[in-house]
């Protein structure tokens, strides 16, 4: 009997609305593990041969992280626009305007792409044409990246709230209050939505109703977005620590210290948690115990979140504008490329390509020769 890949079956059940191997939102999936387990083209044996396939220009810096769905790469820019580029060639398919700059990373689901803007609004555009579907207004800046799960768009705002919006209409399903602005992108797993706040806390809310499940404290403001895997919520804090909390109760499972702020959002793959720090280091910790697996120094502050695919972990360091690849098991350096300016955009790996934005106003696409 011919074997059918699991991701293909999942695609059929989901009405094939995104392709197997796509990276449709910040963090890859709603649980934000940043792990593309469907990637098979690029691995430890050939990543060193990656070359620049194309660059695409926007009007200003690109700190938004790319999303990839159905052959299109979506990314926001500080020129107030959301861009859709052909994933293979970099040709512009469409652009759509918002009312201010875009730091938020887009999410693509069910033929619609969602993104937040500094004008305090969340926008929904047709993924194929860029035509406006709806706009929803919050009380302040939306730097948070939307996550889409079960027909609901979850996104944070600087008005100290988490919003749940109907994905089809933009109608408010519920809002939940935090004690500070929400820069963090929410993660959704097992009927619960998790998000960090500038009040130094991590919040867990019922994904359907917004009712509080639990709240737990860290020692600093949270820019990092949670990742959820195997019943544990992982998140960084400006108190220099990476935290692991029980997803059901919020109890601390373990903490690990770095030497500076942890703006980076953790990635989780194959029992290991990867996270960058403002101390220039990329860390790999055992996901269950927090024991250090390895650490390696990069050339500058790491604001970006690691991406993991097929045995390789990718990350970018800020001021030196460098994108790097390491062996996910050993931390051995495998490859790097230098962009034209600082990089605060997190890499996305999809269908044999690596995408990342840069402060030189460009989106970069790297692929095999």
Q: What is the DSSP letter of 12?
A: H
This prediction's pTM: 0.95
- The pLDDT score that the predictor gives to residue 15 is 31
| pLDDT tens sequence across 221-242 | 999 999 999 999 999 999 999 9
Cβ–Cβ under 8 Å, residues 127 and 70: yes
Q: What is the DSSP letter of 49?
A: G
| pLDDT tens sequence across 27-67 | 999 999 999 999 999 999 999 999 999 999 999 999 999 99
Q: Which CATH class is domain 23-367?
A: mainly beta
- The pLDDT score that the predictor gives to residue 17 is 45
Cβ–Cβ under 8 Å, residues 149 and 111: no
Among 74, 78, 65, which Cα is nearest to 264's? 65
Residue 8 DSSP SS3 = helix
Whole-angstrom distance, CA of residue 285 vs CA of residue 62: 30
Residue 357 DSSP SS3 = strand
What average pLDDT score do residues 247-273 get?
A: 99
| pLDDT tens sequence across 151-189 | 999 999 999 999 999 999 999 999 999 999 999 999 999
Whole-angstrom distance, CA of residue 190 vs CA of residue 31: 9
φ, ψ (nearest 5 deg) of residue 105: -100, 135
Cβ–Cβ under 8 Å, residues 204 and 214: yes
Cβ–Cβ under 8 Å, residues 282 and 258: no
Is a pLDDT exceeding 90 seen at residue 347?
Answer: yes
- The pLDDT score that the predictor gives to residue 367 is 99
Question: Read out DSSP for 29-48?
Answer: STT---B-TT--SS-TTTGG
Domain ranges (residues) in the chain:
23-367
First to last CA, the chain: 35
- The pLDDT score that the predictor gives to residue 20 is 75
């Amino acid at each position: 009997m011919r074997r059918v890949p699991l991701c293909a079956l999942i695609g059929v059940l989901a009405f094939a609305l995104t392709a197997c191997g796509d990276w449709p939102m910040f963090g890859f999936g709603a649980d934000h593990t940043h792990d593309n387990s469907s990637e098979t083209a690029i691995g430890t044996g050939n990543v060193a041969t990656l070359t620049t396939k194309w660059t695409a220009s926007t009007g200003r810096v690109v700190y938004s992280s790319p999303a990839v769905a159905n052959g299109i790469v979506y990314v926001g820019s500080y020129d107030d626009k959301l861009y859709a580029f052909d994933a293979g060639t970099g040709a512009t398919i469409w652009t759509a305007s918002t009312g201010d700059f875009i730091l938020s990373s887009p999410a693509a689901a069910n033929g619609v792409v969602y993104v937040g803007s500094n004008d305090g609004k969340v926008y929904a555009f047709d993924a194929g044409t860029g035509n406006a579907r709806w706009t929803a207004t919050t009380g302040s800046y939306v730097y948070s990246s939307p996550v889409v799960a079960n027909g609901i768009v979850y996104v944070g705002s600087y008005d100290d709230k988490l919003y749940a919006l109907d994905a089809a209409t933009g109608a408010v399903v519920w809002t939940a209050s935090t004690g500070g602005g929400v820069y963090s992108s929410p993660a959704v797993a097992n009927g619960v939505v998790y998000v960090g706040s500038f009040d130094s806390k991590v919040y867990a809310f019922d994904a359907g109703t917004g009712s509080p499940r639990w709240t737990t404290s860290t020692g600093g403001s949270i820019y990092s977005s949670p990742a959820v895997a195997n019943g544990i919520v992982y998140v960084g804090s400006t108190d220099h620590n990476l935290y692991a909390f029980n997803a059901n109760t919020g109890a601390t499972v373990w903490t690990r210290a770095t030497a500076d702020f942890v703006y980076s959002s953790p990635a989780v793959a194959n029992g290991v948690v990867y996270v960058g720090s403002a101390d220039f280091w990329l860390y790999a910790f055992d996901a269950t115990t927090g024991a250090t697996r390895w650490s390696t120094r990069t050339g500058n502050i790491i604001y970006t979140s690691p991406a993991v695919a097929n045995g390789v972990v990718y990350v970018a360091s800020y001021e030196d504008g460098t994108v790097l690849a390491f062996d996910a098991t050993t931390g051995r350096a495998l490859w790097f490329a230098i962009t034209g300016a600082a990089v605060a955009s997190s890499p996305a790996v999809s269908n044999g390509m690596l995408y990342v934005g840069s402060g030189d106003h460009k989106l970069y696409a790297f692929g095999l020769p």
